[in-house]
């Protein structure tokens, strides 16, 4: 009887210790996960405030593309932010579906696909905003000279529809993303790049 009692006591102690260890491991995993999320959020907030630190590699389309990429993700193809935006240019899933890209894992691991998707989105936005580009380029809104590259960058940030509202309201109807970047900020930051390479296309293919 004593042996049975001792055995049962040891069994209870082992079960309690095991449960405690598992709980501690889970807590550590959760803490690590929180730290990772916090780190990503901090990086994204830092990126949102960057302006002078964007590397300048000229005013060509490649310069424009790399400047946008640096602002969005520091040029990293595999990054996913806290809101679920993906890749070097931080694409939303709904935008990717528009280009018939459904496999996000493959998208994150295929740099060529990300580059093609960026060009396609610029082409689509240029088509959507073609009339506003003609009407607005060269004018000043809130002290900022409007350029085609600024318009396309702002459309990448907020969507072409929000840029259209901003331009047609002469800067009264504005937009900020979850990290505080605004249409006006992008208009200024990406002003004056040569985006004539991009052809307006209603249905660009990737």
The phi, psi pair for 194, rounded to 5°, reads -90, 105
The band of 64, judged by pLDDT with boundaries at 50, 70 and 90, is very high
Q: Look up the domain containing 29 and give its range.
A: 1-49
The verdict on 86 and 8 lying in the same domain is: no
The number of beta carbons lying within 10 Å of the beta carbon of residue 161 is: 12
The Cα–Cα gap between 166 and 184 comes to: 9
Q: Which of 6-20, 40-54, 124-138 has the lowest mean pLDDT?
A: 40-54
Number of domains in the chain: 2
Query: Which residues touch 60 (CB under 8 Å, ≥6 apart)?
Result: 193, 194
135 with 181, same domain: the answer is yes
Burial of 204 (0-12, 13-18, 19+ CB in 10 A): buried
Q: What is the band of 178 on the pLDDT scale with cuts at 50, 70, 90?
A: confident
Are 100 and 13 within one domain?
Answer: no
Tell me the three state secondary structure of residue 181.
Answer: coil
Q: Which residue has the higher pLDDT, 13 or 186?
A: 186
Residue with tokens 């259209």: 164
Q: Based on the domain organization, do 89 and 166 belong to the same domain? A: yes
The chain-wide mean pLDDT, for the chain, equals 84
Which CATH number fits the domain that encloses residue 104? 1.10.530
Tens of pLDDT along 161-174? Answer: 999 999 999 999 99
Check whether residue 64 and residue 30 sit in a common domain. no
16-20, 24-28, 42-46, 80-84: segment of lowest average pLDDT:
42-46
Q: CB atoms < 10 A from the CB of 155, how many?
A: 25
What pLDDT, on a 0 to 100 scale, did the predictor assign at position 8? 57
Q: Which of 32, 49, 66 marks a domain boundary?
A: 49
Same domain, 121 and 62: yes
**Where is pLDDT greater, at 177 or 35?**
177
Pair (137, 123) in one structural domain: yes
Q: Give the span between the Cα atoms of 124 and 173, in whole angstroms.
A: 22
In the chain the first and final C-alpha atoms are separated, in Å, by 76
Query: What is the token pair recorded at 81?
Result: 């932010």
Same-domain status, 9 and 87? no
d(CA 57, CA 76): 17
Are 96 and 83 in contact by the 8 Å Cβ rule? The answer is no
Instruction: Note the pLDDT of residue 100.
Output: 96
pLDDT digits (tens, 9 = 90+) for 80-136: 999 999 999 999 999 999 999 999 999 999 999 999 999 999 999 999 999 999 999
> Max CA-CA distance within the chain?
95
On whether both 38 and 122 belong to a single domain, the answer is no
Q: State the sign of the Cα–Cα–Cα–Cα dihedral 56, 61, 64, 68.
A: negative
Q: If residue 61 lies in a helix (H) or strand (E), which one and from where to where?
A: helix 61-73
Output the CA torsion 137→139→145→148 (10° steps): -10
Percent of the chain with pLDDT over 70: 73
Looking at the structure, do residues 72 and 173 belong to the same domain, yes or no?
yes
**Same domain for 40 and 68?**
no
pLDDT of residue 166: 98
One domain for residues 82 and 40:
no
């Amino acid at each position: 009887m004593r042996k049975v009692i001792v055995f049962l006591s040891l069994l209870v102690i082992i079960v309690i210790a095991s449960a405690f260890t598992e709980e501690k491991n889970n807590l550590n995993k959760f803490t690590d996960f929180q730290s990772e999320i916090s780190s990503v959020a901090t990086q994204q907030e830092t990126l949102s405030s960057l302006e002078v630190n964007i590397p300048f590699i000229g005013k060509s389309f490649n310069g424009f593309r790399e400047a946008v990429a640096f602002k969005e993700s520091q040029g990293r193809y595999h990054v996913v932010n806290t809101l679920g935006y993906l890749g070097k240019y931080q694409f939303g899933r709904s935008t990717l579906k528009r280009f018939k890209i459904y496999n996000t894992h493959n998208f994150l691991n295929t740099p060529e696909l990300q580059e093609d998707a960026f060009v396609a989105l610029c082409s689509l936005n240029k088509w959507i905003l073609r009339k506003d580009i003609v009407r607005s380029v060269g004018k000043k809104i809130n002290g900022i000279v409007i350029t085609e590259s600024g318009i396309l960058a702002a459309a990448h940030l907020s969507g072409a529809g929000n840029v259209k509202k901003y331009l047609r309201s002469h800067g009264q109807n504005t937009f900020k993303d979850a990290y505080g970047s605004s249409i006006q900020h992008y208009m200024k930051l990406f002003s004056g790049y040569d985006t004539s390479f991009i052809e307006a296309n209603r249905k660009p293919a990737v």
